[in-house]
Structure 1
């Protein structure tokens, strides 16, 4: 699965970070896996790069 994050400076950075953390909160039933674990590729521009880079580290 892929996630595309738009740019726009610091507003895009904070908005996309909250969106990615929201994906992390969606858990499968009785499992440690979350929706963010299913992401294989990020496509980002400008401020969205910071959020994707931070999430991709972990």
Structure 2
């Protein structure tokens, strides 16, 4: 996990990624999550690790 004060990126073992905001080690704020091999994408709000809206 490479996370700075304004957000960062997490690379999943299956090849998916999350890029966006973090709070207490969980996706929080605006972020983009892609599935393995770039398949599928969710772009929207996250709240403490869960999709909040899209």
Does the TM-score normalized on the shorter chain lie above 0.5?
Answer: no
Between structure 1 and structure 2, the one with the greater Rg is: 1
Which structure carries more strand by proportion? 2
- TM-score of the aligned structures, taking structure 2 as reference length: 0.24
Structure number with the bigger relative contact order (C-alpha 8 A, sep ≥ 6) is 1
